[in-house]
Homo-oligomer: A and B are copies of this chain.
């Protein structure tokens, strides 16, 4: 029958819910997945990402800001160019797992 309504499992606090949902939101958009997937290869400049994925530069920049705010990517400046790369092993592993799971 159904669950006996025992309350030994407490509810998630609001902050945890926010962090977890935000993290998955980052992975819930095809464009961001494509960007993160491209970064599997290594670091990329903003324009190169745009060119490679056929996206507008401003679109890529907006998405990178989103990912940067969640600390999923980091950047490094070299002259006028800014190179982005992964910055969260855990989340990147989850994405990799899920892609492989979907591919097979």
Which residues of A are at the interface with B, using a C-beta cutoff of 8 A?
Answer: 1-6, 9, 11-12, 16-25, 27-30, 33-34, 37-38, 40-45, 48, 52-53, 78, 81, 83, 90, 94-95, 97-99, 101-103
Contact = CB atoms under 8 A, between A and B. Distances in A.
Given A24-B27, A33-B12, A48 B3 contact: yes
A50 to B, nearest CB: 13
Q: State the majority secondary structure of interface residues on A.
A: helix
Contacts of A27: 20-21, 24, 28
Most chain B beta-carbon neighbours within 10 Å: one of A6, A34, A102: A102
Nearest to A21: B30
Contacts of A6: 41, 103
